[in-house]
Amino acid sequence: MNFNFKTMCTRGLTFGLMSIGATGMSVAQDIDSKFASFPTYAGEDLELAILPQGIKFSLWSPEADAVRLRIYPTDRNSAPIETIDLTKSENGVWRAVASSEHMGKFYTFQVAHNGKWLAETPGVWAKAVGTNGMRAAIINLDETDPEGWAEDKGPVVESINDVVIYEMHHRDFSIHPSSGIVHKGKFLALTEEGTTTPLGDKTGIDHLKELGVTHVHILPSYDYNSVDEANLPSNQYNWGYDPFNYNAPEGSYSTDPANPAARITEMKEMVKALHEAGIGVIMDVVYNHTANNDDSNFSLTAPGYYYRHRADGSYSDASGCGNETASDRQQMRNYIINSVKYWASEYHIDGFRFDLMAIHDTETMNQVAKALKEINPSIFVYGEGWTAGDSPLAVERRALKENVAKMENIAVFSDDIRDAIKGHYSNAADRGFATGKPGNEETVKIGIVASTAHPQVDYSKGNNSKFAYASSPSQIINYVSCHDDLTLTDKLAKSMPEASADERMRAAKLAQTIVFTSQGTPFMFTGEEIFRDKKGVHNSYKSPDSINAIDWSLKNANADQFNYYKELIKLRKAHPAFRMRTAEDIAKNIVFDKVEEPNLISYSIKNNANGDQWKEIKLVFNGSDDAKVVKVGKGDWTIIAEDGKINAEGLGSTRGGKMTIAPRSALILARTK
């Protein structure tokens, strides 16, 4: 992948419903009908299977003239020790069996297509690879299991709305000297207990436990293309949205990229350590495009098949990264489904986040969710309900946010609440509800009710969406920032340049209070709990550690911020009222108060919602620069949050009546009778 091109591959663009565009007839259609006629194979034993009688190789390549296999003694810089011709078999699969003596060796496939030998490839199903993933490895996966792996289990999740998602990049999280972690930037960083900053604040996995998040969402951890695994001391950085081998872990996160078992074992050790801490692991998966076009492993095994094309035969590009895959073709659909099943069963992954999910079709996503629930009912799936460019796939088939009602067990990110709270993601100076810009109140309410139909929410006033697109709160992920675009800290700095750091931290608290008390599932970006920034860099996908690393000494400096987040998470977890299960319950139990002032929202969650011990919870959000007065019904109220402070058990009590709410803050009251 060429970096200039990658620069254009900005993540997280929101295009919403896009026109189909003039894809026209002819070439693209010819390609589609040709590929639709290909035989397919749904089995999960493609490419490498280790059997008592030998090593079975099989490659799906229906159009190949010939296929050969090379066995190598090492992962690179060596000549093959054997070359084996594969024989064409049923379902477009080519097969050969090699001697068991080759255990521990490496292999590549090579396909002859249209009379020409293509470059060697580790295939599309390499589960173990050497340095830079160029050669696949013949190893027994059972031997990669850490001690006690058979008993390893992630947290039981009854509903996605019960989880609290923490999005993190391995290197951001542990690379800074202040982390006190030994295996900086590695999978193993998340296995180290007892790590602290020089001032004694907890870091690493202990920090996650202290914060109280239920799941970590790890940025791409499959083998990606951009970081040179043969040159790790050069400290390259990448988010990893440039997939190379989808079914093997990334080598730069292992302690030894040349040892194919190391990256597998170490990733499993990471999962196991998190599970032992009660934390689930969500993988960010990027099946929507590949790092390369003609040189990708897809192209080198079945040229053209796995991608969509334009009318002129060129690669279509809904990913903004040079190509887009074709989930609507049966073998690509089989591939995505089998790949997530593999990660769920071999690595005990608890959830999947689909990058640019709307490049995939709704049918594929429904089958993904179904297949995963069969493995483990606690697994959940969510994704970006948009594309980064137009696609030949018909709009009604795309797994768009606007089509989420067609996908019962899939959730989408709410860009509605994100932009309404903090201001538009692509306009740094733009402000939102929490930073004093009027006109976002109704869109924040759309977030509060998880984009479901509510009698008091007027969707015609929504900024990004004009209808209640979710049929259930389980379909919505609420957030105010993620790895894409400016961090919340940087967004506040750019949109409130005159404000002090304290004032910005008040705005951040208000912003996250809205997210964490809303219906749906809350999601936060790593380090925001200690007010980390990225020095104003919005697309830091390959920025150095000086931009991306979290300086954990901020945990001491911004202890008040950390404690607020911790208490906010505790509040949400303790109260099912914030986690209602149905749109009907939300419509019945959430009652908005009539307030006419801008940047002010007041509402109640009534009726001991979802079995809550609290009969009524009153939430008032004031995003303006001025104190406001609201009328609260008389009663025995416990004050949960007020003026930038929060305590899940209560800060004090009040009888209600006229109450003043401080500028840029949340007021939360609760009563049991």
- End-to-end alpha carbon distance in the chain: 62
Angle at 11 (CA atoms; ends 9, 12), nearest 5 degrees? 145
The minimum distance between CB 229 and Ca ion, in angstroms, equals 5
Question: Which of 125, 531 has the CB closer to Ca ion?
Answer: 125
Residue from 242, 320, 249 nearest 286 by CA: 242
User: For residue 114, what are the β-bridge partners?
Assistant: none
DSSP state of 158: S
Residue 171 main-chain phi, psi, to 5 deg: -75, -45
Name the amino acid, one letter, at 379.
I
Closer CB to Ca ion, 230 or 371, in the complex: 230
Q: Contact, 259 vs 192, CB < 8 A?
A: no
Q: What stretch of H or E contains 555?
A: helix 554-557
Q: Which stretch binds Ca ion (CB under 5 A): 63-71, 247-255, 289-297, 489-497?
A: 247-255
Number of chain positions touching Ca ion (CB under 5 A): 3
- Shortest Cβ 71–Ca ion spacing (Å): 22
Task: Determine the distance from the C-alpha atom of residue 106 to the mean position of all C-alpha atoms in its chain, rounded to a whole number.
Answer: 32
Name the residue type at position 248: A
Closest to Ca ion by CB, 250 vs 350, is: 250
Q: Binders of Ca ion among 395-424, rule CB under 5 A?
A: none
Q: Between residues 243 and 320, which has the closer beta carbon with respect to Ca ion?
A: 243
C-alpha span between 485 and 538 (Å, rounded): 4
Residue closer to Ca ion by CB (options 293, 638) is 293
How do strand 106-113 and strand 116-117 relate by DSSP bridges? antiparallel
Nearer residue to Ca ion within complex by CB, 232 or 574: 232
Contact range with Ca ion by CB under 5 A, out of 242-250, 436-444, 469-477, 550-558? 242-250
Contact 92/38 with Cβ under 8 angstroms?
Answer: yes
| Shortest Å, Cβ 133 to Ca ion | 5
261/375 with CB nearer Ca ion: 261
Which neighbouring-strand residues pair with 516? none
227/510 with CB nearer Ca ion: 227
> Measured from the CB of residue 251, what is the shortest distance to Ca ion in angstroms?
5
Q: Which is nearer to Ca ion, 124 or 586 (CB)?
A: 124
Q: Considering the rule CB under 5 A, would residue 223 count as an interface residue with Ca ion?
A: yes
At closest approach, how far in Å is the CB of 224 from Ca ion? 5
In degrees, rounded to 5, the angle at the alpha carbon of residue 347 between the alpha carbons of residues 342 and 350 is 90
CA distance 604 to 53: 67
Q: How far is CA 293 from CA 129, 310, 324, 354, in A?
A: 21, 14, 9, 20
The helix/strand/coil state of 510 is helix
By CB atoms closer than 10 A (0-12, 13-18, 19+), residue 5 is exposed
In the complex, what is the shortest distance from the CB of residue 361 to Ca ion, in angstroms, rounded to a whole number?
28
Taking the complex as a whole, the smallest distance from the CB of residue 241 to Ca ion amounts, in Å, to 13
Strand-pairing partners, residue 69, are 84, 109
DSSP character string of 431-456: --GGGT-TT-HHHHHHHHTTT---TT
Q: Which residues pair with 252 in a beta bridge?
A: none
Residue least distant from Ca ion (Cβ): 223
Q: How far is the CB of 248 from Ca ion (least distance, A)?
A: 9
Write down the least CB distance from residue 537 to Ca ion, Å: 23
Smallest distance, Ca ion to C-beta of residue 230, A: 10
Q: Which of residues 248-267 bind Ca ion (CB under 5 A)?
A: 250-251
The residue with tokens 């903004």 is: 320
Scan for tokens 């990058």, then name that residue. 355
Dihedral, 129, 130, 136, 141 alpha carbons, nearest 10:
-50
CA gap 189, 175 in Å, rounded: 9
Smallest CA-to-CA distance from 81 within 97, 94, 99 is with: 99
Do residues 244 and 291 touch, judged by C-beta distance below 8 A? yes
Instruction: Choose the stretch contacting Ca ion; rule: CB under 5 A; options: 144-152, 244-252, 356-364, 579-587.
Output: 244-252
Between CA 150 and CA 147 the distance in angstroms is 8
Looking at beta carbons only, is 263 or 360 nearer to Ca ion? 263
Catalytic residues: 355, 384
Selected range binding Ca ion among 222-230, 338-346, 583-591, 607-615, rule: CB under 5 A: 222-230
Distance of alpha carbon 551 from alpha carbon 179, whole angstroms: 7
What are the residues binding Ca ion (CB under 5 A)? 223, 250-251
